[in-house]
């Protein structure tokens, strides 16, 4: 999937913030059709670590991540660029970045999806030996937003879990 990787690997953001937001919205709307969107507000070093780790931790998934819509994501991004005292939306303390993850809807036919079901599915996959660790695999981390740019995960594969 090519997102033109705005800001990826230390490149300067060649697109305007408006263009990045428009492109990100279009991508999220396409992904939202078949995937649950999960967001995690954090600070940039933590976002970079999440991008490089093999799995997003179970404790992060059930502790600080949120199930979100495309509009939820798009509304919070400009707030993260502001000084915390100037934000009009409540954000996680110290957060300047938003990590965006996906989870395939087809794993939950006929059920209303929520993070508890996602967590249970991941636990089952780990117990069955289909994933090596209890957590959301890195292939389901789309990337993270920070300072008006979006860093795309080069290993993003939203269908990874459905192929197990």
119-to-11, 53, 60, 65, 152 alpha-carbon distances in Å? 35, 18, 11, 11, 24
Q: Which residues pair with 56 in a beta bridge?
A: 136
Q: Where are the domains of the chain?
A: 8-163
- Amino acid 15: pLDDT: 64
Q: With contact defined as beta carbons under 8 Å apart, do 126 and 55 qualify?
A: no
- Amino acid 12: pLDDT: 43
- Amino acid 71: pLDDT: 96
First to last CA, the chain: 20
Q: With contact defined as beta carbons under 8 Å apart, do 21 and 77 qualify?
A: yes
Question: In 10 A of CB 148, how many CB atoms?
Answer: 18
H or E stretch including 45?
helix 44-52
Q: What is the pTM of this model?
A: 0.85
Phi-psi region of 129 (alpha: psi -120 to 50; beta: other; left: phi over 0): left
Strands 135-137 and 149-152, bridge-based pairing: unpaired
Q: With contact defined as beta carbons under 8 Å apart, do 150 and 6 qualify?
A: yes
- Amino acid 14: pLDDT: 55
Residue of 83, 80, 106 lying closest to 95 (CA atoms): 80
Low-confidence stretches of the chain (pLDDT beneath 50)? 1-13
């Amino acid at each position: 999937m090519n997102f033109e990787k705005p800001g990826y690997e230390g490149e300067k953001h060649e697109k305007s913030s408006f263009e990045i937001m428009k492109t990100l919205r279009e991508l999220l709307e396409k992904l939202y059709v078949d995937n649950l969107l999960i967001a995690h507000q954090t600070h940039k070093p933590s976002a970079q670590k999440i991008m490089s780790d093999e799995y997003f931790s179970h404790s992060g998934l059930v502790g600080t991540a949120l199930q979100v819509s495309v509009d939820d994501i798009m509304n919070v991004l400009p707030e993260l660029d502001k000084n915390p005292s100037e934000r009009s939306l409540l954000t996680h303390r110290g957060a300047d970045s938003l990590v965006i993850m996906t989870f395939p809807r087809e794993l939950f036919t006929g059920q209303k999806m929520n993070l508890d079901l996602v967590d249970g599915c991941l636990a089952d996959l780990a117990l069955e030996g289909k994933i090596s660790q209890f957590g959301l695999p890195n292939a389901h981390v789309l990337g993270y937003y920070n300072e008006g740019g979006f860093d795309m995960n080069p290993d993003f594969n939203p269908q990874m879990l459905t192929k197990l």
